[in-house]
Amino acid sequence: MTRFKDRVLLLTGAGSGIGRATALKLAAEGASIFISDIVPEALEETVKLAQEVADDDAQIEARVCDISDEEQAENSVAACVEHFGRLDTLCNNAGVLGYQNTHEMSLAFWRRILSVNLDGAFLMTREAIPHLLETRGSIVNIGSTAGLSGLAYGSAYSASKGAIHAFTRAVAVEYADRGLRANSISPASIETGMTKPTPMPEGANLALFQRLTSLHGVAEPGAVADLVLFLASDAAHHISGEEIRIDGAALA
């Protein structure tokens, strides 16, 4: 398949997990991709892997970027458009997760989670919209089931992802008459860095997480990447403002 031949997609958080899987699938379908991550070594590995599977038409450019930094976000979008001449899809995938008791949570911890997950997505979106309006393009935001249902010890993360869903809907409505689409995806039980053991508050009750467990086991990041590609493709031309869960019936 070459659904993305002559299409330019900008993808954040491409150094691992869902971001890496998405980059590889896009490269295999002939897309021109501009990928970013805050970890240089991880980004380099993604570029290497993408080059190995890339279709002949694919082009790959990479840039180390902290999307929570306004100047870096601005420069990243500008560099993408300067290099490729256009932008068809923005995928806001970069994110961080941390667990703390809410009553013991520092403001610095709270702000760090929201600065990446929410502020970063806003900054990238703000800079990308003028270019996406020219191409009648699309935005795919990676949210979380934590933004749809409570996550114990993850109030900052839940707040950031709930806001992402609301932000996506607002953008979808605001620019609908100008041809721009925006959708969000809510993954859960996906084998990524976020699903690996993460420090928990002392005395945390892990039973509180059981209700968020997939009934179909844990899926590979490629399952989410497939959905990202669908939403970015012409096949999804009439889908906008949606929150789509991919969680193995965890919240069904």
Instruction: Tell me the H-state helices in the chain.
Output: 17-28, 40-53, 70-84, 107-114, 120-135, 155-174, 221-232
Please give the structure tokens belonging to residue 122: 């806003």
- Examine the residue annotation and report whether 157 is marked as an active-site residue of this protein: yes
Residue labelled with tokens 């932008």: 87
Please give the structure tokens belonging to residue 241: 């403002």
Active-site residue among 99, 153, 157, 175? Answer: 157
Contact (CB, 8 A) for 118 and 165: no
* Cβ-based neighbours of 107, under 8 Å, separated by 6 or more: none
C-alpha 27/C-alpha 41 separation (Å) is: 19
Strands of 181-187's sheet in order across = 59-64, 32-37, 8-11, 89-92, 138-142, 181-187, 243-246
What residues are labeled active site?
157
